[in-house]
Chains A and B, each alone.
Chain A
């Protein structure tokens, strides 16, 4: 067999091929993949107006916070009378009889002053309870 000589005869092609339309498609794909320039971030300390606004907002928030804390602080510590009553009625097992036993004369006098009961209401109540009276 004759010795093979690379530069004699036809040049040997590497034989590589590509899919149809590869280069057209490649250009489009490449354009979609390009890294976009990052949005420039300006450090806050370099922006005086932002600093001033931030400082002003902070002071306002701090002032309002202190105001509301001091204004509502004592009120929130002690529940009001209605809340205590509601708690005792709905959240405990105490009955009205248990409560009555703890009332002294002074409490009853105070209740008499607070509760205004008209005659109609008394009659209705007595009717409901099937208590009949004759005058």
Chain B
């Protein structure tokens, strides 16, 4: 924790800011990429959202209170940016957020940066049928291996509620795959 405080000080100090930020991007870009990609699906869209996420982190680091871990705070920004991206695209296309996700999944087979089989695509389709919060919980726990405690900090939901949400999600996904 002390290390994190010292690191945040480096991010705030004009002399050390650039080097510290480079370290931050190097350290967290993979994790945040996976998280954003699981929401927006397409690689190029993920790239855009990831850039916006880091720019927001850079701009708002001075307002980071240290009440949560830096990692959780960045994850929260990434989640918001990805969900906002989906909503904006839905609004522009005049369709629902769910339709945007389903469309992105339909395009997966032609995606240069997807190496999945039929079952992997079906799993994505099944996840996209879940309510937004359940989707997030499932993706963060199943695909990204985050602990419930960490997810709790990112989503602001109790660990108990997250566990229940995850089990509901798993049940629905299994049902979807068994019936489609």
Interface residues of chain A, those whose CB is within 8 Å of chain B, are 3-7, 11-19, 23, 26-27, 29-31, 33-35, 37
Which of these binds chain A: B65-73, B146-154, B171-179?
A: B171-179
When distances are taken between beta carbons in the complex, the residues of chain A under 8 Å from B164 are none
Q: How far is it, in angstroms, between the C-alpha of A125 and the C-alpha of B178 when the chains are bound? A: 124
Partner of A35, one of B37, B47, B55, B115: B55
B161 within 8 A of A: no
Question: What total count of A-B pairs have CB within 8 Å?
Answer: 78
Interface residues on B, range: 35 or more
Contact present for A19 and B21 (CB under 8 Å): no
When distances are taken between beta carbons in the complex, the residues of chain B under 8 Å from A14 are 34, 37-38, 116, 120, 123-124, 143
Contact present for B25 and A30 (CB under 8 Å): yes
B74 within 8 A of A: no
Closest-by-CB residue of A relative to B50 is A26
Contact present for A15 and B25 (CB under 8 Å): no
A90 to chain B, nearest CB (A): 70
A31/B25 contact (C-beta < 8 A), A7-B170, A14-B124 known: yes
When distances are taken between beta carbons in the complex, the residues of chain B under 8 Å from A16 are 34, 37-38, 43, 113-114, 116
Closest-by-CB residue of A relative to B139 is A14
